[in-house]
Amino acid sequence: MITLSYRIQGGDFDSAGLATRKLKEQLSKIGIGAPVMRRAMIASYEAEMNVVIHARTGTLWARLDEEKLDLEVADEGPGIPDVQLALREGWSTASSQARQMGFGAGLGLPNIRKNSDLFDIETRVGRGTRIRSTILLGARDEGDAPLLNVPGFLSLDYRRCRACLRCIFACPTAALRVHGSRPVLLPELCIGCTACAAECGDEVFGIGGADTGSSHTGRTAAPRGSGAELLPVPPDAVLVLPRGFLAGFPVNDSPARVLAALQDAGFADIRLVEEWEQALRREARTFAGSGKMPLPLIPPFCPAVVALVESRFPSLIPHLGRWLSPIEAAGEEFPLRPVFLVAACGAQYSAAGRTSLTDRLTVLTPARLAEAVLPGLARRPAAASTASAIAGGEPAPDPRELAATGVRHVMRVLSEAEAGALDGATLLDLSLCDGGCAGSPLLCADPFLALHRWQRGPISAAHSDAAAVPRQKPYAQRHGVRLDKDMGEAIRRLARIDELTRALPGRECGACGAPSCAAFAEDVVMGRADADGCPHRPEHGEETQ
Amino acid sequence: MKVKELAGLIDARLHLGTCSEDSEIARVHASDTMSDLIEHAAPDTLLLTTLNNNQLIRVAELLDVPGICLVSGADPRPELLARARETGTAILVSPTGLEETCRLLEACSGKLEVTRA
C-alpha cells in the first residue's frame, strides 16, 4: 500500500490541476489500468478544482492497495451549507472568475460521485470540506454489496482460545463460531462491539490487529494506527480519548497521573471523547423536541448500537439521529492538525478510521496508547499532578429519556422500541458496553472500578467547544451474510436451512460451535460446518426429548 | 482521422504539439463548460470549445486528449501554447464559431462522431 499527498492552493488557477497531474505521474508508474485511471483523474481533478475555486487551502491524498484507489481531498474553506443541493447537477456558487474559465457549471461533485465506487462528503460550514472517492481496481460489479461495509475490526488471538464457547453466546449478531479450538468470525455479521471480549476470560479478542481471519483480510478500509509510529508526537497534535482510559489503570495511577504521563509523552492538547458525546446529547435533545423525526430518537452515541440497529432492527433505522458518532465528530473537529483518536471498541475503531484516509488522523487502540504511556507512569512521583484541566461533567438526566447499557439490556430496549412499546420515550441513550464506553473490556477491567477511580480523582471541567456534526451518509440496512448472489438459489438455501433447523434437537447447547441450532443449520448449508458437528442429532442415537 | 486532416476540413490554424500529429481522432465533443469537457475527454476525442485558458491543457494532459480546438479565430495565449508543446497536445483554431465548426465537422459524419453539451 502506498499513500501520496499533494498540497492544493486555493484561488491559484495557474497551478490548478497540478496535484492531480503529479498523482497521474505516480499512478502511471504503477501501471494502473486505463479505465481506472480515467475515473481517478476525473474525480481527483474535480475535487482539486473545488478547492481552487472555493477554499483557501487543501490537500489531496491518494492511497493505493491491490484492490482499490482511495482519494481524499480536504480543504479549509467555507464548507457547503446544503450538500444535497450541491450534489444536484447545475447548482454552483463559483465566482465569476471561475465561471469565465468554464467552471461553476454545477457538475463537479456529481462528476466525482459518478466516477466513484464509493463516494462520501463531509462538510462543516465555516471550517471546510472533505471529499472521499474510492475506485475499485477490479471490474465494477453493480450487483455486489459494497465491499467496504464491514463495521467491526476485531482481532483474534487463536492461541489463547480454550474453546469455552462463552463468546458465541455473548455475540448479539451471532457472528462467532468455535471450530476445533479456535474462534471464527463472520465479518459480515460483526458489528464491532466488544461483547465477546467482555465475556472472554482469555484475552482472545482485541481490535486493530491484522490477524482477523482470512475472509476478512482486505475487506475493510484498514484503519490507520496499526502500524504508525506514535512517538515522537507532533507538536500541534490533539489526543482524543475516552474518560475510561484515564481511569483504567491500577489504583495508584489516578486519572490525573495518567493525564500527566500523556502530557509528558508530548501530547499538549488532550481532549475527552465525552465532550463530543455531550455535544451530541445537547443537540439530540433539542432535535427530539422539534417534531422532525419519529420518536424515540436514537442518537449515534455508540457506533456499535448503530450497526446493531442497521443489522438486527432495520425498522428503527429512521429513528437513528443523523449525526456523526462522538469519536467521528472529534476526528472532524481539527481539520488541519494531527489528531490521535483512541477507540474503545472495534466499532469506534472502524468508524473513526472511516472518517479519513489521511495520515492526519491516527486511530489508536487503548493498548497501544498505554504502551506509550506506561513507562512515563513509572517515572512519575506518586503525588497527583495538577496538570491543566480538561473538560468533563455530565448534563442532568431527563425523565423522558431512556438510558440503557450492556448488550442484553440494549437488545431488550430495541425490541421494545421496535414493537412500539416505548412511545413515551423521546430519546434512547444506548451503549453496548456495560456502563457506557468506560465499560469496554479493552479500556479497563470493570466499568464500576473505573468509575470509582474517576470519582475519587476526577479532572475538573474546562469549557468545551465540541459540537455535534451532521452526518451526510444515510444509514442503511446491513444484510449480513448473503445466502447466494442468485435469488433463486438463495431461496432454495433458505428452505434447506429451515428444514435442517427443524431436524436439529433445538437444545441450543453450542456443542457444535455455533450459538444456536438455526445458526448451525446455516453453517452447514453454507458449507461452513459439517452436518456431523451436532453431537445430539437423532442419528447419533441420542434421545432428543 | 488525423489531426491535420481534421484541421483541413474546418480550415483551422494548427499549432502542433510535439507528438500529436499521428493521433487518430474518432470523436469531437463541443462544450463551453469544463466539467462537461472532462466527462467526454478521451484519447480519441478532440475537444471543441469557446473557452481559452490553461486549464484546457491540464484536462488534455490528465485525460490523454490529443487536441483542443478553439473557435472564432481566437488567439491562443502564449502560456497555453507553451504548455501544449510540453504535453504534446495539438491546438487548432477554427476561424468560425462553435456552431458553425460543429456543422462543418458533422458534414463528414462517416468518419467522425460529433457530440455537443
**pLDDT digits over A307-322, tens only?**
999 988 988 999 999 9
A42–B contact, CB cutoff 8 A:
yes
**pLDDT digits over A282-295, tens only?**
999 998 888 888 88
pLDDT at A527 over 80: yes
What is the reported pLDDT for A16? 94
| Mean residue pLDDT across chain A | 81
Compare all CA atoms of chain A with the CA of B83 and give the residue at the minimum distance: A14
B14–A contact, CB cutoff 8 A:
no
**pLDDT digits over A38-59, tens only?**
999 999 999 999 999 999 999 9
Joined together, the cell numbers standing for residue A166 give 462463552
- The count of residues in chain B is 117
- pLDDT (average), residues A170-190: 85
**pLDDT digits over A97-121, tens only?**
899 899 988 889 989 988 888 788 8
- Asked whether the beta carbons of A266 and A233 are under 8 A apart, the reply is yes
Alpha-carbon gap, residue A531 to A525, rounded angstroms:
9
Cβ–Cβ of A38/B63 closer than 8 Å? yes
**Which stretch, A116-120, A304-308, B16-20, has highest mean pLDDT?**
A304-308
Q: Which residue from B16, B5, B12, B6 is spatially nearest to B95, judged by alpha carbons? A: B12
- pLDDT (average), residues A500-504: 93
B37–A contact, CB cutoff 8 A:
yes
pLDDT at B37 over 90: yes
**pLDDT digits over A447-460, tens only?**
788 888 888 777 76
Joined together, the cell numbers standing for residue A489 give 438459489
Strands A361-364 and B13-15: unpaired
Cβ–Cβ of B36/A107 closer than 8 Å? yes
Percent of chain A with pLDDT over 70: 84
Residue-range domain boundaries for chain B? 3-116
A21–B contact, CB cutoff 8 A:
yes
Q: Which residue from A483, A479, A152 is spatially nearest to A314, judged by alpha carbons? A: A479
Residue in B35, B37, B54 nearest the CB of A14: B54
- Asked whether the beta carbons of A129 and A123 are under 8 A apart, the reply is yes
Residue in A45, A101, A107 nearest the CB of B51: A101
Alpha-carbon gap, residue A408 to A414, rounded angstroms:
10
- pLDDT (average), residues B4-17: 86
B-chain CB neighbours of A46 within 8 Å are 35, 38
A16 to chain B nearest CA, in Å? Answer: 7
What is the reported pLDDT for B4? 87
**pLDDT digits over A214-268, tens only?**
222 222 233 333 333 577 788 889 999 998 888 887 766 788 888 888 888 888 8
Collapsing DSSP to helix, strand or coil, A221 comes out as coil
Alpha-carbon gap, residue B45 to A85, rounded angstroms:
32
- pLDDT (average), residues A68-79: 92
Determine which of B31, B35, B52 to mutate to test the interface with A (most A C-beta atoms within 10 Å): B35
Task: List, in order of start, the domains of chain A with CATH numbers.
Answer: 2-136 (3.30.565.10), 148-477 (no CATH), 487-540 (1.10.15.40)
Residues sharing a CB contact under 8 Å with residue A353, sequence separation 6 or more, in sequence order: A153, A221, A222, A223, A224, A225, A361, A363
What is the reported pLDDT for A422? 87
Percent of chain A with pLDDT over 90: 34
Tell me how far CA of residue A272 lies from CA of A150, A213, A446, B79, in angstroms: 27, 32, 19, 53
pLDDT at A530 over 90: no
B18–A contact, CB cutoff 8 A:
no
- pLDDT (average), residues A59-72: 88
Alpha-carbon gap, residue A379 to A263, rounded angstroms:
13
pLDDT at A204 over 90: no
Higher pLDDT, A206 or A330: A330
**pLDDT digits over B58-72, tens only?**
999 999 999 999 999
Residues sharing a CB contact under 8 Å with residue B78, sequence separation 6 or more, in sequence order: none
- The count of residues in chain A is 545
Query: Does residue A296 have a cis peptide bond before it, meaning omega lies within 30 degrees of 0?
Result: yes
Alpha-carbon gap, residue A123 to A430, rounded angstroms:
27
Determine which of A27, A38, A44, A99 to mutate to test the interface with B (most B C-beta atoms within 10 Å): A38
Q: Which residue from A347, A312, A517 is spatially nearest to A440, judged by alpha carbons? A: A347
A95–B contact, CB cutoff 8 A:
no
Crossing angle for the helix pair B55-62 and A18-30, to the nearest 10 degrees: 10
Which residues on neighbouring strands pair with residue B91, listed in sequence order?
Answer: B15, B68
Collapsing DSSP to helix, strand or coil, A58 comes out as strand
Residue A352: exposure state from Cβ atoms within 10 A (0-12, 13-18, ≥19): buried
What ipTM score was computed for the predicted complex, to two decimals? 0.92
Query: Does residue A232 have a cis peptide bond before it, meaning omega lies within 30 degrees of 0?
Result: yes
Correct CATH for B3-116 of 3.40.1390.20, 1.10.3720.10, 3.30.43.10, 1.20.1250.20: 3.40.1390.20
What is the reported pLDDT for A252? 67
Cβ–Cβ of A45/B58 closer than 8 Å? yes
A366-380, A478-492, A496-510, range with the lowest pLDDT? A366-380
pTM for this structure? 0.59
